[in-house]
Structure 1
């Protein structure tokens, strides 16, 4: 039986390995490659669309990320993409023209585009000078009065005064179709000024978080800002389902929007969860929330802050204050226990010298049971796309 125990241990190790294999994700601090593109003269504002082999997109929406002109190499544009996003399309004219899908290696690449059907890919530099460093950024949007022309943004880190741009009045903001101007600034920035007319008109210093922000400016330069798109349609309410520990009395839900801190409820510990079908507790909350705390015992015991996707129903399984699992589909019900035998089975009086059961069969059966359990566990971790 020693052999069977060793095989069982090996089977368990293999299952644990399967459960801990990481899924593909594009982390902000992950490896990145730069993609250069030289496009035809009639291609304006080139963008890059990129995705991984499993279909994970590098950017939120078509036409992707706007490529930046390389001032040292006229006609060339560049953009950093995750190294795992090796499938790219270069497009321009607001997505009106595009190349075919290009399969790239996980290294810096230079694409020379003669037309939509003719693309030459090289992994040897076609540009001169040093490759610009990758800098993580976030978007700043501004809506200003019509009298403001050549809208720009000045950005810096307070209190040390490190500037994001070389000289005042800063980076030009790009006008959008909805009347908002947009520019990207480095994530280390915490202060901005929106200005125009060669810097003659401007807002006061605005202290902001490193998150996408919308700034509204009146004719006198007075400004207000929000971290929620003011013109986005209101998100529909969502339902939060919770399984709380049995010793948590009167479980409540606290919910808010980060980083702006808008709370869904007026006071801690929030709103009481109600009994729902399938043994769940549930509560309907605004669809704009993205952060949740489940608490009990009048708020004296609670989970940590749980980040959730905006606008999606969610199922939260709380094991204890330190352990909670967030799911976007209801987990499968636990398998029913086998029926008890009709009559008790008498205990064996003595252990036979040799068992008639092949230990390999025991191991195979055990692996099947463990693999089945693993399947349930994996299904519970899977997010709805």
Structure 2
């Protein structure tokens, strides 16, 4: 067997293992552990606060993540935390009662809490039934009329009708001090209903993207939603600086917020970039944008979607429609982008192959694509058309 054929056979076998091997090899759940807690009866709405030894917090703000009641084990609450979290505090009643810091191992744990200083930790299962599998979730926040009590969330996948929760009215939403109710749903759902009073009042079906979302419900049940935190400080405008190919006439910038699709400008191709006289083109845009497209020739040539951090000035060097580099400080060696019409063509390179074989470079490229797909890593590109 020739060397290239042996390479091909070995690589195909490796690809088979990556694709057919159990998904656990790439499972996101491998990076999380399950924490159970049994708390005193007067501890209301238990939460969990977790952090790593280096001080990295698992959650954004105290009191942490709400723990979910286990329907199969009355009195037990549970929550997933990152496996890197080696320190735990269980708290309740809006953080007014809590345990002391608890050091834990990177595996599932059961906390039996009789009081703030009376805590027993076990790594042997203390609950009945099979443990749930980890499913990535996103948060849904809702602000509802004062007449709505017992606010719930119903979520499902359309069109196949798979429900996220066992029975209507769904998952109870926890009340926050800011007047918003919050619950988490699996990332595979695309439809939700916010309801209250045991499901007697509700919104219409809301079609959403799987990203943190804020829903505002009116007295008549009508609802509006946004993917931008309405309580967050308003981001100041930022400056986008661009170097575009010399043969792109009238370079413009298109900018928006993903995934809600709020555009910074009214129509394609956006706003013209202005020559600042220092070799850069520039434009001021709202600080909330997180996605950009640089285009030229009245929008007939363009980059792909460029993801950027909101609230930060950004520098974009465009080599051609397929290649653009993004940075948050001025590149030290940012030469003007070449004129693709006059730039010398690169000498073609012959693929390294043997007669009758497949080019090694092609095989490796295919392997990379398949391995990335098996691991759940995908890149989605969308283009704005005139």
What is the TM-score when the length of structure 2 is the normalising length?
0.69
Aligned mates of 2:324, 2:29 — CA distance in 1? 25
Contact 1:33–1:83 (CA<8 Å) still a contact in 2?
A: yes
Residue 292 of structure 1 and its aligned partner are, at CA, apart by 1.0
Partner of residue 267, structure 2: 267
Kindly indicate whether residue 156 of structure 2 is the aligned counterpart of residue 160 of structure 1. no
Aligned mates of 1:176, 1:206 — CA distance in 2? 22
Kindly indicate whether residue 168 of structure 2 is the aligned counterpart of residue 187 of structure 1. no
Aligned mates of 2:167, 2:153 — CA distance in 1? 11
Query: Residues 118 and 243 (structure 1 numbering): CA distance in 2 closer, same or farther, change over 3 Å?
Result: farther
Residue 286 of structure 1 and its aligned partner are, at CA, apart by 0.7
Aligned mates of 2:120, 2:330 — CA distance in 1? 48
Aligned mates of 1:60, 1:319 — CA distance in 2? 38
Partner of residue 216, structure 2: 216
Residue 30 of structure 1 and its aligned partner are, at CA, apart by 5.9
What is the TM-score when the length of structure 1 is the normalising length?
0.69
Residue 264 of structure 1 and its aligned partner are, at CA, apart by 0.3
Aligned mates of 2:38, 2:326 — CA distance in 1? 44
After TM superposition, the structure 1 = structure 2 runs for residues 89-168 of structure 1, keeping only pairs within 5 Å, are: 89-113=89-113, 115-116=115-116, 119-168=119-168
Residue 193 of structure 1 and its aligned partner are, at CA, apart by 2.3
Q: For this pair of structures, how many residues does the alignment match?
A: 308
- Where does the alignment leave 5 or more consecutive residues of structure 1 unmatched? 1-26, 336-385
Residue 79 of structure 1 and its aligned partner are, at CA, apart by 1.3
Residue 130 of structure 1 and its aligned partner are, at CA, apart by 1.5
Kindly indicate whether residue 46 of structure 2 is the aligned counterpart of residue 46 of structure 1. yes
- Where does the alignment leave 5 or more consecutive residues of structure 2 unmatched? 1-26, 335-386
Partner of residue 206, structure 1: 206
Partner of residue 350, structure 1: none
After TM superposition, the structure 1 = structure 2 runs for residues 248-287 of structure 1, keeping only pairs within 5 Å, are: 248-276=248-276, 279-287=279-287
Aligned mates of 1:34, 1:41 — CA distance in 2? 22
Query: Residues 118 and 328 (structure 1 numbering): CA distance in 2 closer, same or farther, change over 3 Å?
Result: farther
Partner of residue 177, structure 1: 177
Query: Residues 303 and 101 (structure 1 numbering): CA distance in 2 closer, same or farther, change over 3 Å?
Result: farther
Residue 256 of structure 1 and its aligned partner are, at CA, apart by 0.3
Query: Residues 97 and 147 (structure 1 numbering): CA distance in 2 closer, same or farther, change over 3 Å?
Result: closer
SS in 2 for 1:287: coil
Partner of residue 296, structure 1: 296
Deviations 1:235-290 (A, max 9, x none): 22122233334444433211001112111011222122234486433221111111
Partner of residue 320, structure 2: 320
Aligned mates of 1:256, 1:290 — CA distance in 2? 7
Residue 100 of structure 1 and its aligned partner are, at CA, apart by 4.8
Contact 1:203–1:222 (CA<8 Å) still a contact in 2?
A: yes
Residue 66 of structure 1 and its aligned partner are, at CA, apart by 1.4
Residue 101 of structure 1 and its aligned partner are, at CA, apart by 4.5
Moved more, 156-165 or 41-50: 41-50
Query: Residues 192 and 43 (structure 1 numbering): CA distance in 2 closer, same or farther, change over 3 Å?
Result: same
Aligned mates of 1:99, 1:328 — CA distance in 2? 42
Kindly indicate whether residue 260 of structure 2 is the aligned counterpart of residue 228 of structure 1. no
Partner of residue 352, structure 1: none
Partner of residue 307, structure 1: 307
Partner of residue 77, structure 2: 77
SS in 2 for 1:198: helix
Query: Residues 62 and 296 (structure 1 numbering): CA distance in 2 closer, same or farther, change over 3 Å?
Result: farther
Aligned mates of 1:285, 1:30 — CA distance in 2? 40
Partner of residue 344, structure 1: none
Query: Residues 247 and 237 (structure 1 numbering): CA distance in 2 closer, same or farther, change over 3 Å?
Result: same
RMSD (CA atoms): 3.0
Deviations 1:105-136 (A, max 9, x none): 33222334455556554332233322122222
Contact 1:30–1:82 (CA<8 Å) still a contact in 2?
A: no
Aligned mates of 2:280, 2:82 — CA distance in 1? 39
SS in 2 for 1:142: strand
